[in-house]
Amino acid sequence: MRLKDKVAIITGAGRGIGLTTAQTFAREGAKVVLCDLDFAEVEAAAQDLKKAGHQVLAVQANTAKSDSVKDLLQKSLAEFGRVDILVNNAGIIRDRQLLKMEDEEFDQVIEVNLRGVYLCAKAAAEVMAAQGGGVILNASSVVALYGNFGQTNYVASKAGVIGMTRVWARELGRKGIRVNAVAPGFIETRMTEGIPDKVIEKLIEKVPLGRMGKPQDIANAYLWLASDESSYVTGHVLSVDGGAVT
């Protein structure tokens, strides 16, 4: 098992990519802290994993709030004694064209997708530095690399994540902490369920592999980056997009 006895915190773990990542890490031997704003979802997910014999903890947290993030780390340490991996997966969208976007919609996305990543990474890095090492993985997006219609706020947040990832890789490498990002393409999640079929067809036309990705595709990327198999990889942005960005 590639993550045997490692302790991993995964934000936005109640569903979609976050949940699939939590399940994948647990199967690979990790002790997993599932974090989400929706406690009912994350608790249900944790119970399912416990029934399968995995060591897990469910925590409700608002990753955009400093006190909530500190509480998340404290509960994780109290339960498992250390933190080896952080997957900054939590994120939201508030899509609208620039000329129609409300200031609040911009601020909300930046708060969760950028400030939340910063707060969680900072709190986890403090623990990892004291331990002598760890892995921080951040969720970016392929749209951060080429832009996307109607997503000023989302693209700005995900491009910012790439910038922070590269800075932290430089700053934290000497402390034994690797920092990388994953840039998913068009993935079948609840976030994409409401997109009209005609729009989905146009999106798939841009993908050389001719299909949307699955949450497991992203979880597999996180697994590799979290494992010792990628021990010499840091400051990297791994696109998992079926070739959409080439």
Angle formed by the axes of helices 152-172 and 116-131, nearest 10°: 20
CB burial readout 1-11, b (16+ within 10 A) else e:
ebbeebbbbbb
Active site residue 222: no
What Å distances lie between residue 137 and 47, 148, 189, CA to CA?
25, 23, 20
Positive or negative torsion for Cα 164, 170, 176, 178:
positive
d(CA 177, CA 159): 21
Q: Which of 118, 146, 154, 232 is catalytic?
A: 154
Longest CA–CA span in the chain (Å) reads 51
Q: In terms of Cα–Cα distance, which of 36, 74, 80 is closest to 58? A: 36
Active site residues: 154
